[in-house]
Amino acid sequence: MPNENGQEQQISTGAAIVQLIMPIVFLFVIMYFLIIRPQKKREKEMQEMLSSIKNGDNITTIGGICGKVVDIRDDILTIEVGRDKVNLVIERWAVKDVDKPISAD
């Protein structure tokens, strides 16, 4: 008889451990779907946007400067800004938004 009580106690201890671990696992799953996954999706979209920059695109930098891309060399962009057409040299990572020009086809 003592053997059966020992098995029942082990089973109830195992069930208690599972009951303690399940909420923690559930929180990690929720955190993944609400925080981590959307962040990775935004990073992927941002990388695609930065890699698709071409000459003639209108961009906005993270500093709020708006200009037109006139030259691209690796990760260095030269943009034309203002009425005086001043050229600024910026890094590709500093681009916040890209507006593709509307082509008349």
The answer to which of 2-6, 43-47, 50-54, 89-93 has the lowest mean pLDDT is: 2-6
pLDDT of residue 89: 97
Closest CA to 77 of 101, 102, 52: 52
Question: Using CA atoms, how far apart are residues 68 and 85, in angstroms rounded to an integer?
Answer: 9
Write down the residue that tokens 């691209």 correspond to. 72
What is this structure's pTM?
0.66
Confidence of residue 1 (pLDDT cuts 50, 70, 90): very low
pLDDT of residue 100: 80
Closest CA to 61 of 88, 100, 101, 41: 88
Closest CA to 77 of 62, 55, 99: 55
Instruction: Look at domain 54-99 and name its CATH class.
Output: mainly beta
Tokens standing for 105? Answer: 């086809």
**Residue 86 in this model has a pLDDT that exceeds 90:** yes
The mean of the pLDDT values for the chain is 88
Confidence of residue 7 (pLDDT cuts 50, 70, 90): low
- Residues above pLDDT 70, as percent of the chain: 87
Question: Using CA atoms, how far apart are residues 66 and 90, in angstroms rounded to an integer?
Answer: 12
pLDDT of residue 4: 55
Domain boundaries, the chain: 1-51, 54-99
